[in-house]
Structure 1
Amino acid sequence: MRVSQRSGLFSGVAALACATVLLEISLARIHAAMFGEPHAFVTLALSLVGAGVGGALLYLAPSLVCPPALFARMAALSSLSSGATLAAIILLAQRGPAPGSLPWLALVYAACTLPFALAGLALAAAIRHAAAEMPRLYLLDLVGGALGGLAAAAALRAGAPRAALAAAIFFAVAGVFFYLASRGREGEQRAQGGLVATFVLGSFVLLAGDFGAPWLKLAGLRRASPDRTEHEAWSERSLITVDRPRAGTAMMRIDSVAASPILDAKTTPPPQPEDMAYALHRDQGPALVVGAGGGRDLRAALKAGQKDVYAVESDRGVVEVMRGRYAEFNGHLLDKPEVHLVMGDGRSFARRAPLLFRNIVIPSADTAEASSTGALALSESRLATVEGIGDFLSRLLPEGTLVVSRADGDFDRLLALTAAALRRAGASAPKDHLFACSAAQRTALLARRTPLARADIEALRRHCRRHKFSEAFAPDRPQTPVRDRLVAVADARAAAPDARTDLTPPTDDRPFFSYAIPARRLPALLGDWKALRAEHKAVFALSALLAVASGLFALAALLPVLAARAGRLLRRGDAAAAAAPLPRGRAGGGGRRALAFFAATGGGFALVELAVFRHALLLLDLPSHELPAALVILLVSGGLGGLLTARVAPSAAAGVSARVAEALVVAAALAAAGLVPLARWSLGLGSFPRAVLALALLVPFGLLAGSLAPLGVKLVSAVSPALLPLCWALGALAGAAAMALGALCAMNLGYSALLLGAGLAYLLAAATVPPAAAGAPALGDAERAPPRAGAAAAGDPPPGDPPPGEATGQAAGAQPEVPEAAPVA
């Protein structure tokens, strides 16, 4: 079978992108289950780090992947990516020396980055040697990535390790397409069919074998009690395990950071502080439980005599456990006539529900260890924000109560947050509306829209004493001076200026409820890595990512200078060569502008993606499928934006790039001012209008941001094609560093500040647009002109030498070998 070089190139790049995104998401889920949730975020940046490393390698050694061995080498790299993926999964299946060992983590991350680096090298080669096809190539790259997101949504149901094996298959399939393309032109070196076939068959056999006789067991999963685990299932969001029942209770755990008991149908639910509301209202309803989990809070509501209990759950995997294997055990709790199950977001449901509630309970399933070590700092809670608490308070009957539970260490923040929400709702003295008690390292806070009467306070107090709960706050007994001040003053920082935790109430713009480092302490804490590792794991992971990505970025940015100096040392005996000026586009003004442009666009896109993507997830009402849906919209629109640049003439590309970057500056500023109000307003809308809003938000950003990379490639390829891999590398590494810096920025300043930072990045991009080549061809000429036969057949010159066009006097707009003789018009 033979395919044209163009078809092989496009199909191979799409399969490569699909495998990359699938592997990225699969590894994120595996790392979350093995090392903790912060590592999932870091893993999402590995593909960018790998792309940066691959591009830098191609710049340093252009002969690695070039005609006439272009497709043969790309086939080999894709096959090796498949093999590296298999090796990384096998390594993860081995038990490390210690769960938190830094050398072990470094080895794991290096192994998991290798497939992305090999794939990044192949993609950089495709861009380098088919620059004239960049708009279509970019479209297929992003569409392939979108397909990888959809594949992840389906493959994760079979388990994250199997999803990673599926990614290895897609890498191998990309190798097949490049192999077939290597047979499409006379003179092209053919790929090694045996190497390609080995990884295609090997990856298929390993995946099929795991279905037939499971062999892939991740030894380092963070199970609280691995010897007692009875059931294990992967969902799109997490790894769910259930312990063997003990004393009528089976503990369900989610990634070992959350735990929720599943009670036997005959077991009476033990009293918890969250049940305070029923001490006042008894069987009066209706009741709303946000986060059904294992159903303990539903059982407590039924025990109190509630006849209408609305249970909201956003994780389909949890519902499948409750309605599947453990349905008989829990007495078909979710199917009882008194229980009304709702799949979706609790805050959105409360806003849209056509009734008011007498009781709203928001339990917390976070484990004490996850809360105390800062492992949940990247897990946003838009329920526990000033606006979120306000939304729930507005859905209560006048005498209704809201009960929110958090770990003991978070209670002061919860108190300040609820007092701020009550104050915004019109309460002049918030302390008269609050009561709290605690047990088993958890504190539940009860809030009411109307002040608690003396009889209500005494009833709550008797309830707590009867069940041996500790009273944590009451209008007449605030327990500590800090708590008294927190509910009395509007500025939480003024109430406790020396507090070791940040008591500022979280908002929809800054929703990280589990992040509690005051800004004044952050610089000192970042310098104390031991304290970070022990108490703030999420910040430690972000700091490590930022350090590695920034270091690689700085090293890549210096490569032109280092390569030029090395070249001059090698030619030291030739006085004329040693004195020659550096070529334009390498370390000259045009080259520096090109590198700065790609770095700014890469960083800006990462910042925009973090903020806009997060708000799009809030708009989409697709439980467990918001991530793949938003990913598909953003990637496909970005690819279409790149395709729209196909007919932009190289002579006009600089002006168009500047205008697009300026438009993104304006869009980022508008989003910073309007995204949070828009997202909150949309919570009261139905699914379809919210989906339309998500499209209206993602598509313009995707179209604009997606057009900058192809425009930049068009400009650089016309002046110094050999600089393209380094430009691509700097854009990817800047994106990885921006992800870490952006998360830290959002946690401390909010998403609006992050969007303003993206605006500054695009402003820099507008100011550093590479100049168009003198005498650039007219509209479409560069795309329509046939390729130069035999160009770059022996590879590019060393990094210190001039590009071919400058060395031989060829036209500045001439392109190196472009696969396929007749580019698409």
Structure 2
Amino acid sequence: MRVSQRSGLFSGVAALACATVLLEISLTRIYAALFGEPHAFVALALPLVGAGAGGALLYLAPPLVRPPALFARMAILSSLASGATLAAIILLAQRGPAPAAGPAPLAWIALLYAASTVPFALAGLALAAAIRHVAFEMPRLYLLDLVGGAVGGLAAAVALRAGAPRAALAAAIFFAVAGVFFYLGSRCREGEQRAPGGLVATFVLGGFVLLAGDVGAPWLRLAGLRRGAPDRTEHEAWTERSLITVDRPRAGTAMMRLGSAAQSPILDAKTVPPPQPEDMAYALHKDEGPALVVGAGGGRDVRAALKAGQKDVYAVEGDRGVVEVMRGRYAAFNGHLFDKPEVHLVEGDGRSFARRAPLLFRNIVIPSAETAEASTSGALALSESRLHTVEGVGDFLSRLTPEGTLVLSRADVDFDRLLSLAAAALRRAGAADPKDHLFACSAAQRTALLARRTPLARQDVEALRRHCRRHKFSEAFAPDRPGTPIRELIVEAAGARAPEVEADLAPPTDDRPFFSYSVPARRLPAVLGDLGALRAEQAGLCALAALLAVGAGLFALVALLPVLAARVGRLRRGAAALDAATAASAASPPPPPPPRARALFFFAAIGAGFALVELAVFRHGLLLLDLPVHELPAVLVVLLVSAGVGGLLTARVAPDAATWTSARVAEVLVVAAVLAAVGLVPLARWSLGLAAFPRAVLALAILVPFGLLAGALAPLGVKLVASISPALLPWCWSLCALAGATAMALGALCAMNLGYSALLLGAGLAYLLAAAAVPPAAAGSIAAGGDELGPSSVDAAGAPPARGAARPEPDVPEVAPAG
């Protein structure tokens, strides 16, 4: 089989990107299952860290990958990335997490992260080499890179159904396939070094054999999962969102565990649901309905509603995997609960359904599936909850009948903030004194808070008290018995001023929807400084701080390492050589050095800006697209493809016009980020009441412009740097990636403390700095090459041909030599 070098290059880069995104998503699921939800966010940054490491390595050692061994080395790197992926997945699967005590876990987790970063570093080195030596093809290269990433996102949606470890094996196969394309490209031109076909074939066949072996006789299962006793696990299934396991039934109950931080009981058809604090609303309304349960899970709250005499129960569940468990293997066990005529099952977002539902509800119950361990350890700090915001609670209150009730359940440690949230929402809804609308009781480390739009009468409070006493629940709050002075202050303030306590009691909002993040901004330095308490009580913040430290450290190292290396090299040349060079320079002053600092700063700024925009716009895109399970690949595809198209549109921009174009695009992004900071959150909330199609159109109207604009800057920057000093490209690309990884951690920390509006303003600042730092282009332009990648038209000094100089023939393209 013979392919052109251009086809081999483009196909190989697309396969590399596909494998990278597929492996990235697979690792987020694996790390979440092994170590908890915060580690999933850290895993998202591994491709950026790897790309930064690969680009820096190429800049420091250009002979690693350059013509005439460009394709051969890229084939080797892709094959090694496949092997490194296999090694990392086997290491993660077979060893599992280290013990929880002592310093060993940190070293063990660091080792696992390092092993997981190796495939991304090898792939990043190959991509940096392609950008360095085929810079004139950057717009098309960038398009295919991002389209390949979008395909990887779609492949993840399919492959994760077979399990995250198998999806990672599929990523290893895609890495090996990229090696095949580069191997074929190395065979199509005389003088090009041939790739080792045996090595490439070994990893392709090895990946397929391992995957086929696991399908035939499963051997790749995660050891040491964060779940109940493994010997009690009866059912295990991966979904697009997480790993679901179900324990063997005991006393008529099978415990379903969702990921590492949530669980929900499945009751058998003959078991009467035991009383829980969430059921107290039925003490007021008896069999009056309809009722809405947001987060149906294993169906306990649906069963409780039916037990209370409800004839019309709407159950909303956003995880299709849960529905498949309830309607599949455990359908007979639970008495076909979700198929009963009284139960109306809805797959989707509960808040959006409530806004669109054409009826008012007598009871709305929002149970909590989070485990007590996850709540007390801070493992949920990075998790958003659009249900538990002032606007979200207000939306549910507006869908109640005048005397209808809303019941919210959380762990005991979260109750004070839950009380603050409900009081603020009631005051916004017009309640003069929120405490008269609230009642709470607790049991088994979980507290349920009942809120009503109209004040609770004395007989209502007494009925609720009798219900709690009968079932031995502890009263946590009542209009006449606040329980603690802090709670009395909370309901009086109703969010206007939070009491000065160690935990953050300010009510979450749609702009800052992190209900489980409880560290006030004023205490953040002190919390970060206490490493022992940080690990034990703030797992999410600890993971974020570690990512920030690693990203910032690598960024500083890569920014300074080439400078230090150059100084060492000058010292080694000796005093005599330096004196000679000084004399020569005095006689004939050299031209001024290229604007290196501006080029590096520009790439760092656009890397940080894109990461910040992606964090904010991506999250709101997920909210707009009410597509259970499939919203993640949908938003990913739209954002990546639009960014790739934005890069392709720069193909005809000449280098001498790229400076002006880059500055204008960055300035437009500044304006777009500011407008989004002002209007994106209100727009997303308003859209919740729309049907699916208008919301999809609105999501496209937001995602596509950001993608087009942000995607144009990297190819323009490559064009500018290639006209100045092509040898700088790997360094620029490395700083761009590492700045993105650092910005991810800073952006998440900013959103948790200040909100997404502040995050978008930070993105606007990054693009403003990029607009100010756009490097000027050198004279001349880079022409498009032919079908084969051959000898360079760039001279030995690395300068591009002068304007009007003779160009090579179409079948002899321009490839810059190594710097």
For normalisation by structure 1, the TM-score amounts to 0.95
**Partners in 2 of 1:4 and 1:513 — Cα distance?**
54
| Alignment map for 1:43-62 (pairs within 5 Å) | 43-62=43-62
User: Does 1:92 find its partner at 2:83?
Assistant: no
The CA deviation at 1:226 is 1.4
**Partners in 2 of 1:42 and 1:813 — Cα distance?**
50
Residue 551 of structure 1 aligns with which residue? 553
Residue 9 of structure 1 aligns with which residue? 9
CA distance 1:308–1:823, shift in 2 (3 Å) = farther
User: Does 1:739 find its partner at 2:744?
Assistant: yes
Partner SS for 2:392: helix
Residue 634 of structure 2 aligns with which residue? 629
1:421 to 420, 425, 437: 425
- What amino acid is the match of 2:161? R
Is the 8 Å Cα contact of residues 542 and 744 (structure 1) preserved in structure 2? yes
Residue 748 of structure 1 aligns with which residue? 753
The CA deviation at 1:117 is 0.1
CA distance 1:607–1:817, shift in 2 (3 Å) = farther
Is the 8 Å Cα contact of residues 224 and 256 (structure 1) preserved in structure 2? no
Question: Which stretches in structure 1 are left out of the alignment for 5+ residues?
Answer: 793-802
CA distance 1:711–1:451, shift in 2 (3 Å) = same
Residue 528 of structure 2 aligns with which residue? 526
1:127 to 107, 126, 131: 131
**Partners in 2 of 1:211 and 1:681 — Cα distance?**
46
| Alignment map for 1:775-790 (pairs within 5 Å) | 776-777=780-781, 782-783=783-784, 790=791
The CA deviation at 1:225 is 1.7
1:211 to 202, 210, 215: 215
Residue 23 of structure 1 aligns with which residue? 23
**Partners in 1 of 2:737 and 2:412 — Cα distance?**
41
| Alignment map for 1:723-734 (pairs within 5 Å) | 723-734=728-739
**Partners in 2 of 1:442 and 1:392 — Cα distance?**
21
2:280 to 273, 276, 282: 276
Which string of whole-angstrom CA distances, capped at 9 and with x for unpartnered residues, describes residues 467-506 of structure 1?
0000000001111111111111244644x21x11000000
| Alignment map for 1:167-186 (pairs within 5 Å) | 167-186=171-190
User: Does 1:602 find its partner at 2:607?
Assistant: yes
Partner SS for 1:446: strand
**Partners in 2 of 1:729 and 1:586 — Cα distance?**
27
Partner SS for 2:418: helix
Residue 690 of structure 2 aligns with which residue? 685
User: Does 1:453 find its partner at 2:457?
Assistant: yes
User: Does 1:348 find its partner at 2:348?
Assistant: no
Mean alpha-carbon deviation: is it higher for 600-609 or for 581-590?
581-590
**Partners in 2 of 1:410 and 1:584 — Cα distance?**
69
| Alignment map for 1:521-670 (pairs within 5 Å) | 521-572=523-574, 573-575=576-578, 579=582, 588=593, 590-670=595-675
**Partners in 2 of 1:219 and 1:785 — Cα distance?**
52
Is the 8 Å Cα contact of residues 495 and 507 (structure 2) preserved in structure 1? no
Is the 8 Å Cα contact of residues 595 and 775 (structure 2) preserved in structure 1? yes
Which string of whole-angstrom CA distances, capped at 9 and with x for unpartnered residues, describes residues 441-485 of structure 1?
000000000000111000000000000000000001111111111
1:698 to 679, 703, 714: 703
- What amino acid is the match of 2:812? A
Query: RMSD across aligned C-alpha pairs, in angstroms?
Result: 2.3
User: Does 1:327 find its partner at 2:331?
Assistant: yes
Is the 8 Å Cα contact of residues 262 and 370 (structure 2) preserved in structure 1? yes
**Partners in 2 of 1:464 and 1:449 — Cα distance?**
21
Partner SS for 1:755: helix
CA distance 1:813–1:468, shift in 2 (3 Å) = farther
Residue 73 of structure 2 aligns with which residue? 73
- What amino acid is the match of 2:82? S
**Partners in 1 of 2:664 and 2:647 — Cα distance?**
15
Question: Which stretches in structure 2 are left out of the alignment for 5+ residues?
Answer: none
User: Does 1:821 find its partner at 2:785?
Assistant: no
Residue 516 of structure 2 aligns with which residue? 514
CA distance 1:545–1:588, shift in 2 (3 Å) = farther
Residue 441 of structure 1 aligns with which residue? 445
Partner SS for 2:236: strand
| Alignment map for 1:180-579 (pairs within 5 Å) | 180-491=184-495, 493-494=497-498, 496-497=499-500, 499-572=501-574, 573-575=576-578, 579=582
The CA deviation at 1:568 is 1.1
Which string of whole-angstrom CA distances, capped at 9 and with x for unpartnered residues, describes residues 35-72 of structure 1?
00000000000000000000000000010000000000
The CA deviation at 1:2 is 1.0
The CA deviation at 1:560 is 3.2
Residue 798 of structure 1 aligns with which residue? none
Which string of whole-angstrom CA distances, capped at 9 and with x for unpartnered residues, describes residues 656-715 of structure 1?
000000000000000000000000000000000000000000000000000000000000
**Partners in 2 of 1:586 and 1:508 — Cα distance?**
55
**Partners in 1 of 2:36 and 2:49 — Cα distance?**
21
CA distance 1:433–1:814, shift in 2 (3 Å) = farther
Partner SS for 2:465: helix
**Partners in 2 of 1:175 and 1:160 — Cα distance?**
23
Mean alpha-carbon deviation: is it higher for 566-575 or for 176-185?
566-575
**Partners in 2 of 1:359 and 1:714 — Cα distance?**
61
The CA deviation at 1:218 is 1.2
Which string of whole-angstrom CA distances, capped at 9 and with x for unpartnered residues, describes residues 241-263 of structure 1?
00000000000001131010000
CA distance 1:370–1:240, shift in 2 (3 Å) = same
**Partners in 2 of 1:39 and 1:587 — Cα distance?**
47
**Partners in 1 of 2:130 and 2:676 — Cα distance?**
35
Partner SS for 1:782: coil
Partner SS for 2:94: coil
Which string of whole-angstrom CA distances, capped at 9 and with x for unpartnered residues, describes residues 399-440 of structure 1?
100000000000000001000000000000100000000000
Residue 102 of structure 1 aligns with which residue? 106
**Partners in 2 of 1:581 and 1:221 — Cα distance?**
65
The CA deviation at 1:569 is 2.1
Partner SS for 1:405: strand
CA distance 1:728–1:332, shift in 2 (3 Å) = same
Is the 8 Å Cα contact of residues 5 and 820 (structure 1) preserved in structure 2? no
**Partners in 2 of 1:577 and 1:141 — Cα distance?**
47
User: Does 1:160 find its partner at 2:125?
Assistant: no
- What amino acid is the match of 1:479? G
**Partners in 2 of 1:36 and 1:746 — Cα distance?**
21
Which string of whole-angstrom CA distances, capped at 9 and with x for unpartnered residues, describes residues 163-205 of structure 1?
0000000000000000000001110000000000000000000
Partner SS for 2:85: helix
**Partners in 2 of 1:114 and 1:711 — Cα distance?**
29
The CA deviation at 1:93 is 1.9
- What amino acid is the match of 1:187? G
Is the 8 Å Cα contact of residues 311 and 341 (structure 1) preserved in structure 2? yes
CA distance 1:613–1:545, shift in 2 (3 Å) = same
CA distance 1:12–1:817, shift in 2 (3 Å) = farther
- What amino acid is the match of 2:738? L
Is the 8 Å Cα contact of residues 24 and 47 (structure 2) preserved in structure 1? yes
CA distance 1:587–1:492, shift in 2 (3 Å) = farther
Number of residue equivalences: 808
- What amino acid is the match of 1:620? L
**Partners in 1 of 2:795 and 2:251 — Cα distance?**
77
**Partners in 1 of 2:807 and 2:98 — Cα distance?**
50
The CA deviation at 1:818 is 13
Partner SS for 1:18: helix
Is the 8 Å Cα contact of residues 726 and 798 (structure 2) preserved in structure 1? no
- What amino acid is the match of 1:622? L
Partner SS for 2:122: helix
